[in-house]
Amino acid sequence: MKQDPSLNINEPSGDWVEQNLSWEEDRKLVLRAWALVFSIIATIMALSVVDGRMAYLQGPYSGYLGLWTNCRRHECACLKQVAVLIHMSMGFMMLALALCFILLITMGFSFRPVFRRLNKTDLVFSALSFGTGLLMALSVTLFVVNIQMLLPRPQVSYLAIFYLCCTATFLMLWSGTLSYLNYKGLWSLKTLSRERRLSFFRWVSVQKTLRRKSQLQNTPRNMLPLNSSLTL
């Protein structure tokens, strides 16, 4: 009886190898999607600085203080001195927001099939995310340092926008960490062994079924059992 070589169970077929590679790409895309979600949330939180009310000062400088405070709508704190560090904080935050939009656009296009074969895509996303997170952290730090340097020192109450910026910084750094882990393949190293075993068992089960059907089709009719001959 001649056996179809495509049904050889000892050697994985080309479809099995291609399927294994597709699963590897799917894992990378899933982790990249999570990094994109964290980046989107961080960008939305960072955009809250446009409101301008990051802190409220009580004392000789009573009023709201932020990066872009609208003094026509809110009571602004009159510092009576040049806030150099706050202007530097504005510049770093503007750079961070610009990098946020560049990161989101490039990550969105990376899911297209044309860009899936690029090896260092996640490394670039990691560098952009870390750079954006560090710029946000530097901007928030300079803002706090400028308030602490005010003399006489006022009573400071940090508002929700300030904490949203701090959370955005953490989320952007976490997104960069996920992208770096995706580039290193640590996601695959933890789950690849178990998934390969389960997938191989499923593949063996399918191959056994196909092999049994092929043997039944190639067996002479007079050698089949009575029940099998009735069903044929």
Burial of 161 (0-12, 13-18, 19+ CB in 10 A): buried
CB-count burial class (<10 Å; 0-12, 13-18, 19+) for 125: buried
C-alpha 75/C-alpha 53 separation (Å) is 10
Tokens representing residue 199 in the block: 């997938």
Identity of the highest mean pLDDT range in 13-22, 36-45, 49-58: 36-45
Q: Which residue has the higher pLDDT, 93 or 1?
A: 93
**Whole-number mean pLDDT of the chain?**
78
- At 212 the pLDDT is 78
- Domain positions in the chain are 22-184, 190-232
> Are the beta carbons of 61 and 150 closer than 8 angstroms?
yes
Q: What is the pLDDT of residue 5?
A: 47
Confidence check: pLDDT of 37 > 60: yes
Residue 13 has what pLDDT?
47
For the cut 90, the answer to whether the pLDDT of residue 17 exceeds it is no
- What single-letter amino acid sits at 35? A
Higher pLDDT, 176 or 202: 176
Helix (H, G, I), strand (E, B) or coil at 56: strand
What is the Cα–Cα distance from 27 to 31, expressed in whole angstroms? 6
Angle at 88 between CA 82 and CA 90, to 5 degrees: 105
**What pLDDT was estimated at residue 11?**
44
pLDDT digits (tens, 9 = 90+) for 131-163: 999 999 999 999 999 888 888 888 888 999 999
3-state helix, strand, coil in the chain (%, to 5): 70, 5, 25
- pLDDT confidence of residue 45: 94
Q: Please give the Cα distance from 101 to 106 (Å, whole number).
A: 9
pLDDT digits (tens, 9 = 90+) for 46-86: 998 888 888 888 878 788 888 887 777 777 777 777 678 88
With H, G, I as helix, E, B as strand and everything else as coil, classify residue 3. Answer: coil
Tally the C-alpha atoms within 13 A of residue 24's C-alpha that lie toward its C-beta: 18
* Structure token digits, residue 122: 């996640």
CATH no. of 22-184: 1.20.140.150
Cα gap 96→102, rounded to integer Å? 10
State how far the Cα of 14 lies from the Cα of 22, in Å rounded to an integer.
Answer: 12
